[in-house]
Structures are given as C-alpha cells and as structure tokens.
Amino acid sequence: MDKKKYEFAYEVYDDIHQLKNEDAHLLKEARLVTANAYAPYSNFHVAAVALLEDGQIVPGTNQENASYPVGTCAERVLLGILAALHPNVPIKSMAISYNSTEIKSDHPISPCGMCRQALLEYEARVNHPIRLILGGMEGKVIVIDTAKQLLPFAFTSNELK
C-alpha cells in the first residue's frame, strides 16, 4: 500500500486592500453584482465575475427557483454566458463573492462541487487555468492559482476515452 498526500498552496489576504489593483477591481465588481442575484428563497446572493484574457469583464449571478433543483449557481451561469457569447476566450481570473441578509459576509466561500467540476471542464475546454479570487463583502480574501486545485481526482474527459 502507498499512502499519498494531496495539498496545494494558495494566498490569503487580510482584506481587499492588500490585493493587486486588477484583483481588487474584479472582487469589487463581484461584490456589486451580488445585488443582481435572484435568491428570494435562501437570501444568499452570489456573484461570479470573470476577467477574460482579452480584457473584457463578464458577470454572472446565482438564479434560484421555487423548485430547488432548477436553480443555478453563479459560477455555472457565468460559464454558460461565456460559452455562448465568448466561446473559447480564456478566463484570466474569476472573482466570487456573496451577500446575505441571514449571515455576515465576512469570509471567503468556495465553489460547490458541481461548480468545481464545471470550472475544471472549462479550464480543459480552453486549455487555460482559471485563477480564483474568493471573498465576501469584507474580510479575508483567498486567491487560488487554478480551479483544478479544488477538485483532486476529478472526473475528466480522459475517463471517457
């Protein structure tokens, strides 16, 4: 038997003011765009905002539904928009933020498992890592070099060949 260990490095900042200007701008956009989320059931408004390699900034928000399985996370809404309107344009960075009337938005959140899989697939599709900037409306910010780091042992197209 072999025992192995998976770990990865990421950056933790005390607040948005410690970020590079480009990253701070993207996170500020994500914070603003949370207001556009449709979350009448959870009151958990999430925004994902992408900075594309060509310099464009594109937002997405979570979209809930009374039939819960029909709702879609902000990250997957954004990836769908990008696939339709900006096909094959790599994402340089993606900022993800949230706001809620129920809890304090003072720490980073990470994409759910389904979104991690979708992010990984998009990285493979355009052959480019997606750098993630994760933060709430205030507080610490986490920066991860590639979404792939969030999903070890991922199911990929290699398993279908």
Q: Mind telling me the catalytic residues?
A: 75
Structure tokens at 158: 């290699």
Which residues touch 118 (CB under 8 Å, ≥6 apart)? 75, 76, 79
Tokens 């199911």 identify what position?
A: 155
As a whole number of angstroms, the distance between CA 106 and CA 50 comes to 21
Which residues touch 151 (CB under 8 Å, ≥6 apart)? 113, 116, 117, 119, 120
8 A C-beta contact, residue 120 and residue 148? yes
